[in-house]
Structure 1
Amino acid sequence: MTTIQTSTPSVQTQSSGSSSSAGNDLASQISRLTSQITKLTKQLKEVANGSGSVEEKKKQQELLQNQIKMLQAQLQQLQRRQAEEAQQKQDKQQAKVEGVNSPSAEHQIDIYV
């Protein structure tokens, strides 16, 4: 019979003042979650091929599937946050670019009719 580790490490997200360190932290958390999902998926396959009663296998498979679902939800949350941060960074960079059509106090025109 195959024993399954049932403790799922939770991912704690912290807002950091530095966006670059937060980006690296998110990337490492995403990588960690991905590897955990891969590991649990392998365990799920091993349970199906392993020995033991059908009832025990079903229980173990359900536990593993629930853990995988939780990790996938955390992964989606982190990826969404990473995409939002990337969008904010891109918006800041676009705001810095000054062009002819950039509205500012220096580019105002008074029109009298």
Structure 2
Amino acid sequence: MTTISGSSSASTGSTGSSSVSQTASITKQIIKLQDQLKSLSDEKSLTAEQKAEQQQMIESQIAMLEAQLAQIQQQAAEQQQESKAADSGGSKVADGVNRPTEKNKLDVYI
């Protein structure tokens, strides 16, 4: 009998590296489930009804993991957009050299 193993954890990462590791982990789980799905057709000890039932279970697990993967990717994209907006949103501090302060500003009239 084929055993179905797979665990999904719905955790949200606040850093980019955790979303990358979560993405890799979920991808590995999906690949493992796809391999189980492929090997299910070769299983001789199961009836056709049992195979169909297990196939449906594996496919639903894959669908859940793919949805979780899409959610993580969307959160990572949103965080990236937020960080880009924060960087370009005028957060540069006037240092007096390339971005003059009020004291270091030159008014040149020709």
Same topology, TM > 0.5: yes
Which entry has the higher C-alpha Rg, 1 or 2? 2
Letter paired with 1:70 = M
Using CA pairs below 8 Å that are at least 6 residues apart, which structure has the higher relative contact order? 1
Matched, 1:72 2:66: yes
Question: 1:1-113 counterparts in 2 under 5 A?
Answer: 1-5=1-5, 8-14=7-13, 16=14, 22-51=15-44, 52-96=46-90
Give ranges in structure 1 of 5+ residues lacking alignment: 17-21, 99-105, 107-113
TM-score (structure 1 length as normaliser)? 0.72
Give ranges in structure 2 of 5+ residues lacking alignment: 93-101, 103-110
Change (3 A) 1:97 1:9: closer
Extract structure 1 runs of 4+ deviating beyond 4 A: none
- Return the alpha-carbon distance in structure 1 between the equivalents of residues 53 and 17 of structure 2: 37
RMSD over aligned CA atoms reads: 1.9
How much does 1:3 deviate? 2.0
The count of aligned residue pairs is 92
Give the secondary structure class of the aligned counterpart of 1:49.
coil
Larger helix fraction of residues:
1
Task: Say whether the 8 Å CA contact 1:11–1:29 is kept in structure 2.
Answer: no
- Return the alpha-carbon distance in structure 2 between the equivalents of residues 9 and 77 of structure 1: 13
